[in-house]
Amino acid sequence: MAAIVAAGYFLRDPIFGMPVDVHEVTSGDLVQTVVASGRVTTPQRVSVAAVVTEAVARIPVEEGQKVRRGDVLIELDDRDERAAVAQAEAAVAQSEAKLRQLREAGLPASKQAFVQAEANQRLARQQFERNRNLRAQGYISQSALDDATRNLDVANSQLDSARVQVATNSAGGADFEMAQTALQQSRAGLAVAKARLAQDVIVAPTDGVLIGRSVEPGDVVQPGRELMVLAPAGETQIVVQVDEKNLSKLKLGQSALASADAYPHDRFGAELFYINPGIDALRGSVEVKLRVTDPPAYLRQDMTVSVDIEVARRAATLVAPADTVFDAASTHPWVLVIEDHHAARKSVVLGLKGDGQIEILDGVAAGERLIRTASNPSLGQRVRVAATKQPRS
């Protein structure tokens, strides 16, 4: 009789049975995320190259350095170009002196010569008129009249020549225009020489970070050859590859939290703004781009980052740890609960799947204790609670 009583006590007493770990079903918020990894990038990269063949004289910047637009990146040997500039400057000075000479000396001198020629011509005409009258009266010989005629012709010719000289030395005249054209040509030659000199100094076309360099002082560079790569300052982006099975969950504007592998405990926000319309068949993934609105100072080009994209959220829903649901990926998921100290099976309806947590839409109630799958008791087996845990918040 004592043995029968002891056996009955064993069956009823909860301290007997297989020890199992349980989690309580709680009510709370659940966030579903898609996890991916990728790299930091900028929308574009700028290749820096030379346009002339020349030896590198100096490189005042280092790879990884931030530069501003106009900062000197590479200086080429410019001795020949400086000599050409000096020669062109001398040509400009000579042309300016020639034009100034016309204005300050040539034109005044020609005007003075014109005034003198006018006076001579006037005197010669008066003499001619007088001699013509005297010849008509028979007071002088024909040869005297011929001399006066010849003197008048010479004076007229000198006056015409002086008039032409004034015109050619004035603005719009031939000599003036030639001198002005020569000045323009010399100035154009100076501009070309300075442009060639400027090509020996390669500057940053925009603000950014120098992320690549393939040149050293002493190298002879060729036109078009990439010497440096500049990541322009501006919007920082993250490019990740997401498994194509998650494509239906992605939407533009979704928020995300990212962390650089070099700083795993520092998370920063991002926003999904681009989903590639094509699929990478080899990797079975889709390219996604996220915009980092407030990038941390340590974030650098091509850094490896991990991203959690928030694709869904439920507020005040029933939540259970993922390790309490059996066959969660099937169409008939179920859980084990403790009923009268025994493991009992219950079918459940699942909703969102978060980070280690699952939303339960139907089948259990808040506060109900679910047996962890790792305990794995048999259906109907007597069990006892070894530990009760709350799901992560």
pLDDT band at 58 (very low <50, low <70, confident <90, very high): very high
Note whether 193 and 85 are same-domain residues: yes
Per-residue pLDDT at 181: 85
Note whether 69 and 207 are same-domain residues: yes
pTM of the entire structure?
Answer: 0.51
Whether residue 322 contacts residue 358, with contact meaning beta carbons closer than 8 Å, is answered with yes
Q: What is the percent of the chain where pLDDT is above 90? A: 39
List Cα–Cα distances, 7 to 2, 10, 13, in angstroms. 9, 5, 10
Q: Dump pLDDT digits (tens) for 277-299.
A: 999 999 999 999 999 988 898 88
3-state secondary structure of 128: helix
Among the candidates 176, 197, 218, a domain finishes at 197
**Does residue 42 register a pLDDT over 60?**
yes
Per-residue pLDDT at 15: 56
Note whether 377 and 322 are same-domain residues: yes
Note whether 269 and 136 are same-domain residues: no
Note whether 131 and 279 are same-domain residues: no
Residues 6+ apart with CB under 8 A from 377: 18, 20, 336, 343, 371, 383
- Average pLDDT in the chain: 86
Q: What would you report as the CA-atom Rg of the chain, rounded to the nearest whole angstrom? A: 49
**Does residue 40 register a pLDDT over 70?**
yes
Note whether 94 and 193 are same-domain residues: yes
Decide if 108 is inside a domain: yes
Residues 6+ apart with CB under 8 A from 121: 152, 155, 156, 158, 159
Q: Which of 265, 388, 384, 379 is nearest to 18 (CA)?
A: 384
Instruction: Average the pLDDT over 140-148 and give the result.
Output: 84
Note whether 87 and 163 are same-domain residues: yes
**Does residue 113 register a pLDDT over 70?**
yes
CATH code for the domain of 224: 2.40.50.100
Per-residue pLDDT at 171: 74
Which residue reads 């350095």 in tokens?
Answer: 65
Per-residue pLDDT at 390: 59
pLDDT band at 142 (very low <50, low <70, confident <90, very high): confident
Residues 6+ apart with CB under 8 A from 2: none
Per-residue pLDDT at 2: 40
**Does residue 76 register a pLDDT over 90?**
yes
Q: Which of 3-12, 192-201, 263-272 has the lowest mean pLDDT?
A: 3-12
Give Cα 213 distance to the centre of its chain.
17
Decide if 172 is inside a domain: yes
Which residue reads 């681009």 in tokens?
Answer: 274
List Cα–Cα distances, 110 to 106, 158, 159, in angstroms. 6, 12, 11
Decide if 378 is inside a domain: yes
Decide if 129 is inside a domain: yes
Per-residue pLDDT at 387: 61
Decide if 163 is inside a domain: yes
Q: How many CB atoms lie within 10 A of CB 148?
A: 22
Decide if 6 is inside a domain: no
Per-residue pLDDT at 5: 39
Q: Which of 231, 240, 349, 236 is nearest to 286 (CA)?
A: 240
What span, in angstroms and rounded, lies between the C-alpha atoms of 137 and 154? 26
Among the candidates 313, 337, 352, a domain finishes at 313
Note whether 143 and 286 are same-domain residues: no
**Does residue 51 register a pLDDT over 50?**
yes
Q: How many CB atoms lie within 10 A of CB 184?
A: 12
CATH code for the domain of 353: 2.40.420.20
Note whether 55 and 23 are same-domain residues: no
Structural domains of the chain, count: 4
Decide if 358 is inside a domain: yes
Note whether 59 and 126 are same-domain residues: no
Note whether 91 and 178 are same-domain residues: yes
Q: Domain containing 65: what range?
A: 48-77+200-228
Decide if 10 is inside a domain: no
Note whether 89 and 188 are same-domain residues: yes
Per-residue pLDDT at 10: 40
What span, in angstroms and rounded, lies between the C-alpha atoms of 269 and 292? 6
Q: Dump pLDDT digits (tens) for 354-380.
A: 778 888 999 988 888 898 988 888 888
